Chains A and B, each alone.
Chain A
Amino acid sequence: MLVAAIFSLTVLGAVFGLLLGVAARYLKVEGNPLVAEIEKLLPGSQCGQCGYPGCTGAAQALAEGNAAVTLCPPGGVALAQALAAKLGVEADLSGVEDKGPMIAEIKEEICIGCTRCFKVCPTDAIMGAAQQIHVVFREACTACGKCEAVCPTESVKLQPIPVTLQSWHWHKPQTGSTA
């Protein structure tokens, strides 16, 4: 009785082990299409705030599981959730500081027209020429913060995008924890 039990379980284990081994060999996926898919989700502004060299590097790290889904500050909570869904992991959003959508704004009084910011802007969202005040195209700015870092007069600052009649929508109802 005991021998039979041990025997049958051993056989079962061996058969399933063999099956798994065969499956691993024949159903192997070459390369990693995930990297490309993840990169598509990322902002693509190559700002480097995640600590990786550009969005491709970040996608690589995410695909290998070396980076948290919350690594991208410009992407905010929405991106973290999208990445978590893509990678099939649970997103720990407690650490994400989501200040809502931001945008670079230039204080015209203190802009000296040094052109440093528009040279670093990854999306050409800043327009200007030497010795002239620069302006930000709201539609093109990803709030990567590169301009803020290079501005010598602290004239460029990231600001929350002002709410307009077009962008306003109802807030989430607060109904307590249990409701």
Chain B
Amino acid sequence: MKLFDLRGGVHPEGKKNLSDERHIRALPLPKKLYVPLQQHIGAPAAPVVNVGDKVLKGQLIATAQGAVSSSIHAPTSGTVVALGDHAGPHPSGLPVPTITLESDGEDKWIATEAVADPFALTPEDIAARVGAAGIVGLGGATFPAALKLNLSRSSGVQTLIMNGGECEPYLTCDDRIMRERAAGIVEGIRLIAYAVAAKEILVGIEDNKPEAIAAMQAAAQGTAVNVVAMPSMYPMGSEKQIIQVLTGREVPAGGRPADIGVLVHNVATAFAVQQAIRFGKPLLSRIVTVSGGAIKTACNVEALVGTPVQELIDFADGYSQPAARLVLGGPMMGQQFTNTNVPVLKGTSGVLALMSTEIGQSEASPCIRCSTCVRACPVGLLPLEMAAHIRTSDLAGAVALGLKDCIACGSCSYVCPAHIPLVHFFNYAKGDLAAQERSKLKQEATKKLADARLERIARIERERAEAAAKRKAAREAKERAAKEAAAKAATETG
């Protein structure tokens, strides 16, 4: 199959050999699980259980709220012991609303509905079941999967692309799931394709995962699923980039893949879809790579959502040396965390303990305009110019240069010889612009309130004046009438 060229990109050291031969192992059942209400893009789910409630594995404990949201299920059987804030993997370090579950050790399933022939279901039914199972994009974006299916079906998708890129260094969770659960993934892919009536199915896998490619090709024998090896380069696994490589087309700026008739899902999401449709199992766990130079035994584990990260680190025999930085996700786009009590979420692909030599970060020095970042940017932006504008607080200037097209992949920061935190500048600017937008909306609202108050005061005054005038008129009329009456009486008597 003909592949298309990608602009820019970088080649960070893969480090996948630390964990790519490690079979997926189930993590022992944790005593306590911390299940945050927001594990997806959109509105947080609303809890439907109370403290003290006994729940079974797979039971709905929080339900989707609003158009973009996702349901959450009990990862094991046990008792709800708290509803409230708990440490979460948010970069602010702020606690997040969480349902705390104490496991009873029995791991007892709620009754599930298995479907013998899932292809007999209607596409709408499949999307509904995917939504009910609380499935979100497991590649990291955590967009509710059912919503994507519905959007794609209504807009008419031609091509289904399954993302097996896994271009982030260290991570091997998608690699392992493709090697070990290829049959399930392929069935999931076919179900997704059926649900959106896709005509072409492409599975893109980076060529640094030959075993995964072989396993997937074997499982896809005789189906419409087409497994394609792609060159290994970061950020090949980014949605927009994988579309470009496999189809040669680009998602219009500000648009969605559906705009060009494409739907992209992660391979692990396909497996979750298969489990949900065929066995009626909601999304309760995911594969997580535990790796990094400071981890003693790197591994791939299947962890329940809500498992404290510390348990994963313990499972990997702890640290081989003090970690310079702990990261959730991959090193390129992952999130640093300091509290190991934070839970694994649906979108947590990796737990990394990195040494400072692996991070390789040093103090920023002046930009020499070498434009290495321009060459590395897969989007075609001018990171150095954008950062220069943001540094002088000219956010509008950065937007004019394409700030909103930035996918925050971090390629520019990775290659910068001056170690300028370019992508940090961009995310700061994006956040600040959003905050400005919010305060502008608030200002407009408060201005309306102020105007309404002034109007109200004026109206009250006016009404008061009118009432006074009326009273006066009435009094005068009365007086006049009295006078007239008196005069009349006088004439009559007179």
A–B proximity contact (CB within 8 A): yes
- Per the bound structure, the CA–CA distance linking A94 and B442 in Å amounts to 26
Residues of B within 8 A of A173 (CB): 364, 421, 424-425, 428
Measured between beta carbons, the chain B residues less than 8 angstroms from A78 are 436, 439
A175 to B421, CA, bound (A): 8
B445 touches A140 (CB 8 A): yes
Give per-residue flags for A108-133: 1 if the beta carbon is below 8 A from chain B beta carbons, else 0: 00000000000000111100000000
Interface hit among A9-17, A29-37, A149-157, A162-170: A162-170
Q: For chain B, residues 426 to 447, give those with C-beta under 8 angstroms from any C-beta of chain A.
A: 427-428, 430-432, 434-436, 438-439, 442-443, 445-447
Flag if B439 contacts A168 (CB, 8 Å). no
- Cβ of B450 and Cβ of A45 under 8 Å apart? yes
B30 to chain A, nearest CB (A): 24
Interface size classification for chain B: 35 or more
A9 to chain B, nearest CB (A): 42
Known A-B contacts A123-B450, A175-B420; A169 and B366 likewise in contact (beta carbons under 8 Å): no
Q: A28 an interface residue at 8 Å Cβ cutoff? A: no
A163 to chain B: which residues have CB within 8 Å? Answer: 92, 94
CB of B357 within 8 A of chain A?
Answer: no
Q: Which residues does chain A contribute within 8 Å of B424, judged by CB atoms?
A: 170, 173
The smallest C-beta distance from B476 to any residue of chain A, in angstroms, reads: 34
A66 within 8 A of B: no
Residue of A nearest to B391 (CB): A175
Shortest beta-carbon distance from B450 to chain A in Å? 5
Q: Closest residue to A81 on the B side, CB-wise? A: B393
- Selected from A44, A125, A165, the residue in CB contact (under 8 A) with B451 is A44
Residue of B nearest to A43 (CB): B443
Whether B445 lies near A169 (C-beta < 8 A) is no
B428 to chain A, nearest CB (A): 4
A70 CB to nearest B CB, Å:
15
Shortest CB-to-CB span from A33 to chain B, Å, is 19
Of A139, A172, A173, most B-chain CB atoms within 10 Å: A173
Residue of A44, A124, A141 ringed by the most chain B CB atoms within 10 A: A44
**Structural contact, B432 and A123, CB atoms closer than 8 A:** no
Please give, as numbers and ranges, the residues of chain A lying within 8 Å of B442 by CB-CB distance.
139
Number of A-B contacts (CB under 8 A): 87
Taking a contact as CB atoms under 8 Å apart, the answer to whether A179 and B428 are in contact is: no
B453 within 8 A of A: yes
A101 at interface, CB cutoff 8 A: yes
> Across the interface, do A179 and B449 meet the contact criterion of CB distance under 8 Å?
no
**Interface bits B57-86 vs A (CB < 8 Å: 1, else 0):** 000000000000000000000000000000
A176 part of interface (Cβ distance < 8 Å): yes
Task: Name A179's contact: one of B38, B364, B435, B445 (CB within 8 Å).
Answer: B364
**Cβ-based interface call for B491 (8 A):** no
> Nearest residue in A to B456 (C-beta to C-beta)?
A124
Main secondary structure on B side of the interface with A: helix
A78 to B432, CA, bound (A): 11
Contact: A169 with B428, CB < 8 Å?
Answer: yes
Is A175 within 8 A of B434, CB to CB? no
Are A122 and B438 in contact, CB atoms less than 8 angstroms apart? Answer: no
A169 to chain B, nearest CB (A): 2
Closest B residue by C-beta to A46: B450
Closest Cβ of chain B: how far from A145's Cβ, in Å? Answer: 14
Residues on B with C-beta less than 8 A from A141 are: 446
A169 and B432 contact, Cβ closer than 8 Å, known pairs A44-B451, A122-B450, A123-B446: yes
CB-defined contacts of A44 to chain B, threshold 8 Å: 443, 446-447, 450-451
By a CB distance below 8 angstroms, the chain B residues around A169 are 427-428, 430-432, 434-435
Q: Does A25 contact B (CB under 8 A)?
A: no
| Complex CA distance for A168 and B435, rounded to whole angstroms | 9
| Least distance between A55 CB and chain B CB atoms (Å) | 9
Contact of B449 among A124, A165, A168 (CB under 8 A): A124
B residues in contact with A171, CB < 8 Å: 428
Set of chain B residues within 8 Å of A124, measured between Cβ atoms: 449, 452-453
Contact (Cβ within 8 A) A165 B421: no
| Residues from chain A with Cβ under 8 Å of B367 in the complex | 179
- Residue of B90, B424, B446 with most partner-chain A CB within 10 A: B446
- Given that A164-B94, A167-B435 are contacting pairs, would A176 and B364 also be in contact in the complex, using a CB cutoff of 8 Å? yes
Say yes or no: B427 contacts A43, CB within 8 Å.
no
Q: Is B121 an interface residue (CB 8 A)?
A: no
* CB–CB B446/A43 < 8 A: yes
A124 to B393, CA, bound (A): 34
B255 in the interface, Cβ–Cβ < 8 Å? no
Q: Which of A43, A125, A142, A168 contacts B92 (CB 8 A)?
A: A168
Query: Are A179 and B418 closer than 8 Å at their CB atoms?
Result: yes
At the interface, yes or no: B96 with Cβ under 8 Å from chain A? Answer: yes
Contacts of B91 in A (CB 8 A): 168, 170
Closest chain B residue to A76 by CB distance? B439
Which residues of chain A come closer than 8 Å to B421, judged between CB atoms?
Answer: 173, 175
Residues of B within 8 A of A125 (CB): 446, 449
Residues A167 and B438 in contact, CB atoms below 8 Å apart? yes
How far in angstroms is the closest Cβ of chain A from B96? 6
Q: How far is the CB of A98 from chain B (nearest CB, A)?
A: 12
Pairwise interchain contact A175-B364, C-beta atoms closer than 8 A:
yes
Q: Which of A46, A81, A140, A172 touches B428 (beta carbons < 8 Å)?
A: A172
Inter-chain contact A123/B449, CB cutoff 8 Å: yes
Q: Is the pair A170, B428 in contact by a Cβ cutoff of 8 Å?
A: yes
State in angstroms the CA–CA spacing of A52 and B365 once bound together. 47
Residues in B whose Cβ lies below 8 Å from that of A43: 443, 446-447, 450
Complex interface: chain A residues within 8 A of B454 (CB): 46
A-B contact list, 17 entries, CB within 8 Å = A43-B443, A45-B447, A45-B450, A124-B452, A125-B446, A125-B449, A139-B442, A140-B445, A141-B446, A165-B94, A168-B90, A168-B94, A169-B427, A169-B435, A173-B421, A173-B428, A179-B367
By a beta-carbon cutoff of 8 Å, the part of chain A in contact with chain B is 43-46, 78, 81, 101, 122-125, 139-142, 163-165, 167-173, 175-176, 178-179
| Beyond known contacts A43-B446, A165-B38: 8 more, CB 8 A cutoff | A43-B450, A123-B449, A124-B452, A140-B445, A141-B446, A165-B92, A165-B94, A173-B364
8 interchain residue pairs of minimum CB distance: A169-B431, A44-B447, A168-B92, A123-B449, A175-B364, A179-B364, A170-B428, A173-B421
